[in-house]
Amino acid sequence: MKYFFIKLFSFFLAFSFFSVSYAKEAEVVHWWVSGGEQAAISEFAKAWEAKGNIWIDTAITGGENARGTTVNRIMGGDPPTAAQFNISRQFEDLITQGKLQSLEELATKEGWRNFIYPKKLIDVCVRDGEFWCVPVNIHSAQWMWTNTSVFKNAGVAEPDTIDDFLAAAPKLKASGIIPLALGGQPWQEGLMFGVVFSSEGYDLMQAVLKDHDTGAAKGPRFRNVLENYRELQQWVDDGAPGRLWNDATAMVIQGKAGMQIMGDWARGEFQVAGLAPKNEYNCIIPGKKKYVELGGDVFVFPKSDDPAVKEAQYELASLMVNPTVQANFNNAKGSLPMRLDVDMSAADACMKMGLELIKDPDHIMEGSGIWNTNDFVSSWEDIISEFRNNPDQSIDDTINQVVDLLESGI
């Protein structure tokens, strides 16, 4: 009898230990606090909790705040389970300092190198042959968003390239609207410049921004880019400085402006406003040769001595690349998934354009964010922003500043 109860007791003990240790906890730091973003991160959270785990959401608005908090907490000794970063070099230092958990075991086991697409995404996360982060989506900045009726009223066709737009702009202005909507924040001004730049030639962009070739920066083609950019500015209204990007999108939606150059996340605004793609608004990838730019988000996993934490991190990473979860997440966010075998049939016309284009590796471009540190990117934006806001700053002066930046080794 006693023996029976001992067996029963140890059975319950083992069972309770089993069920208690089964629920994993994950604290995730991110900056997705609004609308579609919030719905997207919820897909991760729901999938995580469907497995019986606990999701602790640490949402902090503003990428800098969130990333800063992540770094602080890692350095202070209280790291989160997972933290969001961009496809960039922002987290490199954390790798060299040994603060991140290597995902190589998981990547090899699940064969990440086989299904992550495009292949360039792998390079974003791999250092010294090991995976240190997991990419979760692709956002591209190379888009023009137009209000169809505004162009119709002005009697011009919607542009296919930047040059087309420059030709059409005077007619737009004459019809009484602001031709180009812009939010005057350095990142937006830099984004617009990047689109003009790549229109001139992706090879030139690589020479200047990737290879830091000062000869290319001093050359006539780059000068042409600067001139085109300056020419674009006359079609932007004076109230641009400080404007938020979605306020600029609203100008296009409400028919006060003709076009905005903005990343694919602008699509969400049109959707919320109830406009129909290809009908009431148009999404155009500018340039004679069309590119999808590789921007987007990744998650890193701060290193912990506790094996239970590592287990939770691996499970979370695995979940994030799961095809079903990827489908739900990216549909909610309006971004492209990081693997091809994801069911994106629910995507709308604009997203489908991106999905089609990305199938061909020849149409994929990396951006400055992948090649350069945040310091470089921000310093570049400083130069561009001043160039845009200060009509007295000459093109020569700007080229000199660019050359200085390229030579500075930042």
Q: Which of residues 247-286 bind other proteins (CB under 8 A)?
A: 250, 265, 268-269, 272
Tell the smallest beta-carbon distance from residue 113 to other proteins (Å).
Answer: 27
Q: Which residues share a beta bridge with 261? A: 144
Tell the smallest beta-carbon distance from residue 164 to other proteins (Å).
Answer: 28
C-beta of 199 vs 368, nearer to other proteins: 368
Q: Specify the DSSP element, H or E, that contains 212.
A: none
Q: Tell me if residue 366 falls in helix, strand or coil.
A: strand
C-beta of 118 vs 263, nearer to other proteins: 263
CA distances from 240 to 178, 184, 186 (A): 11, 5, 11
Burial class from Cβ neighbours inside 10 Å (0-12, 13-18, 19+) for residue 188 reads buried
Tell the smallest beta-carbon distance from residue 345 to other proteins (Å).
Answer: 24
Check if the beta carbon of residue 192 is closer than 8 Å to that of residue 180. Answer: no
Of the candidate residues 97, 108, 149, 394, the single one contacting other proteins (CB under 8 A): 97
Map the footprint of other proteins across residues 378-397, applying CB under 8 A. Answer: 378-379, 382, 385-386, 388-390
Map the footprint of other proteins across residues 129-158, applying CB under 8 A. Answer: none
Q: What string of H, E and C letters represents the secondary structure of 271-332? A: HHCCCCECCCEEEECCCCCCCEEEECEEEECECCCCHHHHHHHHHHHHHHCCHHHHHHHHHH
- How many angstroms from the chain centroid is the CA of residue 33? 15
Q: Which residues share a beta bridge with 223? A: none
Tell the smallest beta-carbon distance from residue 277 to other proteins (Å).
Answer: 18
Closest listed residue to residue 285, CA positions, set 147, 141, 144, 139? 144
C-beta of 241 vs 361, nearer to other proteins: 241
Q: Tell me if residue 128 falls in helix, strand or coil.
A: coil
Tell the smallest beta-carbon distance from residue 363 to other proteins (Å).
Answer: 26
CA distances from 126 to 91, 111, 132, 300, 400 (A): 12, 14, 6, 12, 34
* 395: its two tokens: 């093109």
Stretch that binds other proteins, among 11-19, 40-48, 106-114, 339-347 (CB under 8 A): 40-48
Q: Provide the mask over 158-187, with x wherever binding to other proteins is found by CB under 8 A and - wherever it is not.
A: --------------------------xxx-
78: contact with other proteins by CB under 8 A: yes
Tell the smallest beta-carbon distance from residue 278 to other proteins (Å).
Answer: 22
Q: What are phi and psi of 238, to 5 degrees?
A: -70, -20
C-beta of 79 vs 367, nearer to other proteins: 79
C-beta of 112 vs 329, nearer to other proteins: 329
Tell the smallest beta-carbon distance from residue 241 to other proteins (Å).
Answer: 4
Map the footprint of other proteins across residues 216-245, applying CB under 8 A. Answer: 237-242, 244-245
Q: Provide the mask over 342-381, with x wherever binding to other proteins is found by CB under 8 A and - wherever it is not.
A: -------------------------------xxx--xx--
Check if the beta carbon of residue 32 is closer than 8 Å to that of residue 59. Answer: yes
- How many angstroms from the chain centroid is the CA of residue 248? 19
CA neighbours within 13 Å on the CB side: how many for 219?
12
328: contact with other proteins by CB under 8 A: no
C-beta of 19 vs 408, nearer to other proteins: 408
Map the footprint of other proteins across residues 58-77, applying CB under 8 A. Answer: 58-62, 64-65, 67-69, 71-73, 75-77
Tell the smallest beta-carbon distance from residue 16 to other proteins (Å).
Answer: 26
Of the candidate residues 8, 56, 308, 346, the single one contacting other proteins (CB under 8 A): 56
